[in-house]
Amino acid sequence: MAFELPDLPYAYDALEPHIDARTMEIHHTKHHNGYTTKLNGAIEGTSLANLSIEDILKNLDMSNTAVRNNGGGYYNHCLFWEVMSPDGGGEPGGEIGAAISESFGTFGSFREKFSSAAATRFGSGWAWLCVQPGGKLEICSTANQDNPIMPDTGCGGFPILGLDVWEHAYYLNYQNRRPDYISSFFNILNWQKVGDLYLANQ
Ligand code: MN3
């Protein structure tokens, strides 16, 4: 079973002015589509071909760069589209809100730490919020298309929020102003989805 590029859960222009339509369209139809096609090519005819993407990444041989880069790229963007929404933003309530307060003290402190992880990732990569066994939350970042599900990335737990800080995610609108893009992301952050993932994966 080949992996398929998922549709976005909203229109390309739905996240404007925070993320522009052209960036969203290129990101989805070129970048995410490319990772999907190359992942399928890399696993075709191998023992990985019938596994779920989670199982492929969990047990990944990190020297398999084709699956590492494209499997990570496939998975990471599937999550990224879901954790944004035109109705997003604000501060989370419910159990995810309580877990953030418990793990980071305040929402402001969480926001500062997450933004810092995203801003200080050198070159291309991702910032993550991960749930650990027992429910504690941790922030980390990875290079390139690595993610916390993969072995030995320095990030552990299950990712419930991911922010793409590759230049292709923001350069058309923000050029080198990555911190402005990170700040805008909080206006479209889909806390409902992050909260659902938190409840489902502790
Ligand atoms: Mn990307």
Per-residue model confidence as pLDDT tens digits over 133-170: 989 999 999 999 999 999 999 999 999 999 999 999 99
Q: How far is the CA of 110 from the centre of ligand 1 (A)?
A: 23
Domain boundaries, given as residue ranges, for the chain: 20-202
Residue 1 predicted with pLDDT over 80: no
Residue 79 predicted with pLDDT over 80: yes
Q: How far is the CA of 189 from the centre of ligand 1 (A)?
A: 16
Q: How far is the CA of 31 from the centre of ligand 1 (A)?
A: 6
Q: What is the pLDDT of residues 17-34, one digit of tens each?
A: 999 999 999 999 999 999
Q: How far is the CA of 36 from the centre of ligand 1 (A)?
A: 12
Span 20-202 CATH architecture: 3-Layer(bab) Sandwich (3.55)
CA-closest candidate to residue 8, choices 87, 89, 77? 77
On whether the pTM is more than 0.95, the answer is yes
Q: How far is the CA of 105 from the centre of ligand 1 (A)?
A: 30
On average, the pLDDT of the chain sits at: 97
Mean pLDDT of 66-80: 98
Q: How far is the CA of 112 from the centre of ligand 1 (A)?
A: 22
Q: How far is the CA of 61 from the centre of ligand 1 (A)?
A: 22
